[in-house]
Every structure is written in C-alpha cells, then in structure tokens.
C-alpha cells in the first residue's frame, strides 16, 4: 500500500500490525497509555526513536540509547559535523532554531564516544543568529569547534551530485565532504515554501546559494541534495514547534510546545513520521510535503509507514 492509500484508509490502515500512527490530536502518540512502547511493523526496513515529555538533552539521551548508543555512530579519532538549524536572529524559546541544549548534548556525546573533533556549522541567513539562537555558546561550552560560514566563500567548494534531477552542481560546505560522521539536527516547523522544514529541508543550509532552490523547484532540489551525502544520523527537535509564521517566526508566528524528539539514520523515515505528527497538529494536509515522496523515489530512505519500526519512549 502506498502513502496515498495509507492516508485514505486513515485509522484502519494505522492499525495494521499494531501501528498506532493515527491522524488524531496526538499523531504518533495516538492511543498510547504505556510509558514505553516499541511499535514493530511487519517487513520494516527503518528504525526511528520517538521520545516525548522531557527537556531536549534528556530526550536525546533516551533516543540515542534506543538506537544503540553514540558509539555505534562515532568511533575514536573521527571528525564529526553537526548541522543544526540556526538561521534566524531569534531566541531559543521561539522555535525558529534548533534548541541549544540539544546541540550541546550531542556534542558532549560525540566527544565522550571518542571523536577527535566536533564541528558545528550552518549557513545561517541572519548573521546574528549564531549568537541569539544560543547555539554558538552551547556548542563551544561543550567543546565543539564553531564556524561562521556566512560570507566566507572559502568554506564551500563546487561539487557534482550524481543522479540529481535539478541540483546537479552546487557549492557545498567542504566539511560535509570531509567529515567522518555527519549528524543532521533540524527543528520541525512551518515553512512558507515547503509547508514543513524537517530533516531533508535542513540540509539546504549546507549549500552556498540557497536561492537556487526556490527559483528552480525547491522540493526536487531538497530531494536531490542527499544524493551527494546522506547524514549518518538525524535528530529532529520538536520541543517547541512553530505552527505558523515560519521559517523565521518574525511575523505572526504561533507555536506549540509538545516536547518531542525524533531520531533515525533514515532521513526520509524521519520526515515521513514528522509529517504524520504535523498533520495531527493541523500544520499540513496529507501529501502536501512534496520532497518526501521525491526523496523516497530517489532511494534515499523509507516513506512507507508500514515499513518503519518506531520505538516510542516517554521521559
């Protein structure tokens, strides 16, 4: 059954093999009453940890443990790149940027796992965002190397993306290519151009010319980029979620505070589950997030909810 059929069947399809992803008020957590529950689906190909009810750092600790621990992803002596969303000149409580407490804990865990160097980078839109987001201070306090890339052409290099349909050539952060471990840390929020920004969309901050996306088919460009390099781990911040006024949150913004976090090695599965949760919050309607099926079709991950194993945890 494809994604469209799943949505049409609604709760009936969600009940297959114990799957509780219903389009109710609580989305991923519909019909949940136990503290911890693992949803195993027949024929699953991807694993995702979903955590709710805690602070960002505590939820991350639970999620990474459920996925096998940070040492599964980071080996001694490796170089790690952490790519948060820190584009906007907004405070941490706005929901516009990845929460600094989450970035700090990821850095700490990487170093504890034996990483030689941990870099934190994003091609932010507002230069002041490095400071006002709280990400720079959090990253450096934890021991990361923080780099400002805006307006620094030497930080990027021209690359070809084999298999891309639109984004065939672009200038990419050199560290994306050079790092041993690439960790993607988006914040889930409303977005005027793509309806939602999540894992796939967050990678737009790895390129120098993001305007190219918006003038040449943003959904396809978003789906093309991971053909260059997929993140090794994706951690999605849904602690505070901007439901309207995104992505900057500077005008008529509205937000909710669900205190959630999602983690997976599969970036498409991350966004597919994130879309379900966003439907429950009435942020989007089914099939409105165009880059998810495009990324699935490109073989970048799993969007069929029946094939995603969801480990549900509560703090």
What would the pLDDT profile of 36-54 be if each residue is shown by its tens digit? 566 544 455 799 999 999 9
Residue entry with tokens 């994604």: 3
**What are the backbone angles phi and psi of residue 314, rounded to the nearest 5°?**
-125, 140
Q: Does position 5 have pLDDT exceeding 90, yes or no?
A: no
Cα pseudo-dihedral 173, 176, 178, 180, rounded to 10: 160
When the pLDDT of each residue in the chain is averaged and rounded to a whole number, the result is: 87
pLDDT of residue 90: 76
pLDDT at 7 (0 to 100): 37
Q: Report the sign of the C-alpha dihedral through residues 111, 113, 118, 121, in that order.
A: negative
Rounded CA-CA distance 256/27 in Å is 14
* Of 13-17, 36-40, 56-60, 135-139, minimum mean pLDDT range: 13-17
C-alpha–C-alpha distance, residues 303 and 185, integer Å: 19
Structure token pair of residue 307 = 């094939």
Percent of the chain with pLDDT over 70: 86
150 CB burial (10 A radius; 0-12, 13-18, 19+): middle
How high is the pLDDT of residue 42? 45
More confident residue, 180 or 37: 180
Provide the whole-model pTM. 0.89
What domains can you pick out in the chain, each with its CATH number?
A: 53-307 (3.40.50.11440)
How far is 263 from 283, CA to CA, in rounded Å? 21
Q: How confident is the model at residue 18 (pLDDT cuts 50, 70, 90)?
A: very low
Least confident among 152-156, 249-253, 289-293 = 249-253
> Which class for 311: exposed (0-12), middle (13-18), buried (19 or more C-beta within 10 A)?
buried
CA distance 66 to 187: 20
Q: Give me the pLDDT at residue 83, please.
A: 97
In this prediction, residue 238 carries a pLDDT of 97
Q: 122, 94, 108: which is closest to 246 by C-alpha?
A: 94
Q: What is the pLDDT of residue 254?
A: 86
Cβ(138)–Cβ(101) under 8 Å? Answer: yes
């Amino acid at each position: 059954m494809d994604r469209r059929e799943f949505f049409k069947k609604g709760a009936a399809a969600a009940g297959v093999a114990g799957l509780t992803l219903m389009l109710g008020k609580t989305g991923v957590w519909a019909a949940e009453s136990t503290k911890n529950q693992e949803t195993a689906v027949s024929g699953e190909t991807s694993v995702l940890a979903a955590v709710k009810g805690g602070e960002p750092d505590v939820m991350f600790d639970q999620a990474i443990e459920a996925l096998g621990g940070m040492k599964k992803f980071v080996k001694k002596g490796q170089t790690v790149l952490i790519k948060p969303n820190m584009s906007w000149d907004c405070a941490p409580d706005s929901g516009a940027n990845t929460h600094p407490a989450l970035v700090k804990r990821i850095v700490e865990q990487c170093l504890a796992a034996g990483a030689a160097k941990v870099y934190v980078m994003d091609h932010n839109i507002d230069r002041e965002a490095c400071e006002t987001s709280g990400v720079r201070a959090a990253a450096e306090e934890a021991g990361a190397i923080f780099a400002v890339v805006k307006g620094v052409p030497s930080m990027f290099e021209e690359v070809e993306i084999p298999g891309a349909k639109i984004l065939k050539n672009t200038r990419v952060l050199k560290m994306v290519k050079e790092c041993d471990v690439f960790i993607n840390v988006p914040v889930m929020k409303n977005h005027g151009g793509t309806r939602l920004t999540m894992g796939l969309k967050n990678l737009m901050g790895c390129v120098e010319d993001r305007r190219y996306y918006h003038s040449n088919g943003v959904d396809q460009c978003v789906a093309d980029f991971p053909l260059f390099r997929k993140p090794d781990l994706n951690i999605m911040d849904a602690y505070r979620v901007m439901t309207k006024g995104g992505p900057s949150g500077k005008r008529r913004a509205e937000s909710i505070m669900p205190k959630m976090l999602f983690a997976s090695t599969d970036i498409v599965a991350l966004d597919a589950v994130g879309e379900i949760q966003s439907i429950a919050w009435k942020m989007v309607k089914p099939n409105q997030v165009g880059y998810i099926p495009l990324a699935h079709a490109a073989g970048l991950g799993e969007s069929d909810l029946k094939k995603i194993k969801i480990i549900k945890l509560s703090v």
